[in-house]
Structure formats: C-alpha cells, structure tokens
C-alpha cells in the first residue's frame, strides 16, 4: 500500500468530521452511516473498489492507521537520526579539538627541549675548549676532531665530534688500526668528547678496560 504525507482527506460525508483528520486519527469506521466519497481522496489514497462503504471505511481506517504509524516511525527515525548525527558531529568536533591541543602541546614540548639542548650543548662546548691544548683546539676548530696520546701506551688516538664510534686508534703512520667504542651516557656530545680525552690522557688503562675494541683487518 502506498500512503501519502499530504493526507488528510477532505470528506464530503456526513458522518466524519473533517477536524478529526489529523494525527489523532484513526477512526474506526464501523459506522454504517459513514459516507465517504471515494472521489475526495482518490488522488491521495489508493481507491478500493468493489467493496461496501463500510468495508471501505474500515480499510481506509486501517490504511490510515498504518499511515499514521509509519509516519510516526519516520518522524521518530528522523528525529533519532538527526539527534545521532548532531551527537556524532559534536563528538567529531571535540575529538578534533583534542587532537589539535595535543599537537600544539607536543610542538611546545619539542621547542622547550630543543632550547634546553641548545644551552646544554653550548655549556659542554665551553667545558671541552677549557681542557683542550692550543693545538687540539685548532684541530677542533678546523675539523671538529683532534688527536690525543694515551698516558700508558703512548698510542695516538683520534677523537671526533660524535656521541658514538668517535674514537679510533692510529698507528705510527697515522692510519686507523682499530675503533674503540666507549661513551659517557646522559651528557651532550662535547662533554662525552672531553671525558674521552681526559681519560686517555690521565687513565688510559681504565678506558681501554671498558671500551669495546674493533681491530681493522688492514691499516686504513
């Protein structure tokens, strides 16, 4: 069956009051005296033919009930759907706000850490320069690397500006013969470099005890 939202019908009968043609309908058309002219709603309703007026009234009432019921359901669904959509849109908006706030906070934190690291690196660089000999400082300025002689073995080492793998052992000709992996945790790179220099020049034995040494196959 089809029903139309443009109902209500306008009756031309004598028993049905047109004011009842609202959502408080349905009328239970058992009144044998109801005389509803089919033609008044033929454009809105399916026409039921070959039935008595009473039957027609009942059928129309039934259809009307169904129409009202369906209409209410649709209205309810629309209302629910709109409420759900509003809720989803609000949740989405709040989630986006939270994401933006988190992103901003992360950016601020990164900036703060970068500023702290810059100050730390500068202080470490000053400390390193305060312990370098003039020759070592010149080499550091030129190449960010310098040479150190071990106090025990008198071997020559090269230290460059990295936090790991920056210490190499050289032979008499200045070729790299081994790598020494030893580091100071939790300090800027320049502090780590200064500590390596001080250890090699003052306590080479201890550094060699701690370091992991990698011998290279042939002098480089």
Partner 1 sequence: MKGAIAVMDDSGDTKIAWDSDNPDEVENARASFRRLRDKGYGAFKADKKGEKSETMHDFDPNAEKIIMSPPMRGG
Q: Which residues bind partner 1 (CB under 8 A)?
A: 116, 119-124, 126-127, 129-134, 136-137, 164-165, 181-188, 191, 194-196, 198-199, 201-203, 206-207, 210-212
Q: Residue 135 CB, nearest distance to partner 1 (Å)? A: 8
Supply φ then ψ for residue 70, to 5 degrees. Answer: -65, -40
Q: Based on CB atoms, which residue is closest to partner 1, 56 or 166? A: 166
Inter-residue contact 146 to 177 (CB < 8 Å): no
Q: Based on CB atoms, which residue is closest to partner 1, 87 or 123? A: 123
Angle (CA) 38 66 29, round 5°: 50
Q: Based on CB atoms, which residue is closest to partner 1, 45 or 183? A: 183
Q: Residue 159 CB, nearest distance to partner 1 (Å)? A: 13
Q: Residue 81 CB, nearest distance to partner 1 (Å)? A: 56
Q: Say whether 215 sits in a helix, a strand or coil.
A: strand
Per the DSSP assignment, residues forming a β-bridge with 155 are: none
CB atoms within 10 A of CB 14: 10
Q: Based on CB atoms, which residue is closest to partner 1, 61 or 184? A: 184
Q: Residue 107 CB, nearest distance to partner 1 (Å)? A: 22
Per the DSSP assignment, residues forming a β-bridge with 61 are: none
Q: Among candidates 134, 132, 118, 216, which has minimal Cα distance to 175? A: 216
Q: Based on CB atoms, which residue is closest to partner 1, 29 or 188? A: 188
Question: How many angstroms separate the CA atoms of 62 and 75, rounded?
Answer: 19
User: If you ran DSSP here, which 8-state letter would residue 145 be given?
Assistant: E
Question: How many angstroms separate the CA atoms of 101 and 155, rounded?
Answer: 56
Q: Based on CB atoms, which residue is closest to partner 1, 56 or 196? A: 196
Q: Residue 212 CB, nearest distance to partner 1 (Å)? A: 5
Q: Where are the beta strands (DSSP E) in 34-174?
A: 145-149, 156-160, 167-170
Q: How do beta strands 145-149 and 156-160 pair?
A: antiparallel
Q: Residue 219 CB, nearest distance to partner 1 (Å)? A: 22
């Amino acid at each position: 069956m089809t029903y139309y939202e443009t109902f209500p019908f306008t009756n031309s009968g004598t028993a049905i009051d047109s004011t009842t043609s609202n959502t408080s309908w349905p009328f239970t058309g058992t009144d044998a005296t109801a005389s509803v002219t089919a033609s008044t709603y033929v454009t809105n309703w399916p026409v039921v033919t070959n039935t008595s007026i009473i039957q027609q009234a009942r059928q129309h009432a039934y259809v009307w009930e169904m129409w009202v019921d369906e209409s209410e359901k649709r209205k309810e669904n629309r209302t629910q759907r709109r409420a759900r959509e509003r809720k989803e849109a609000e949740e989405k908006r709040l989630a986006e706000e939270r994401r933006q706030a988190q992103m901003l906070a992360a950016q601020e934190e990164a900036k703060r850490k970068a500023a702290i690291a810059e100050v730390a690196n500068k202080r470490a660089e000053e400390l390193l320069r305060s312990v370098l000999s003039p020759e070592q400082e010149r080499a550091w300025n030129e190449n960010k690397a310098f040479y150190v002689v071990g106090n025990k073995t008198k071997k020559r080492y090269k230290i460059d500006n990295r936090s790991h793998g920056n210490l190499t052992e050289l032979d008499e000709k200045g070729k790299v013969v081994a790598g020494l992996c030893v580091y100071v945790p939790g300090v800027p790179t320049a502090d780590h470099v200064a500590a390596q220099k001080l250890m090699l020049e003052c306590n080479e034995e201890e550094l060699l005890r701690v370091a992991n040494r990698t011998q290279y196959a042939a002098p480089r």
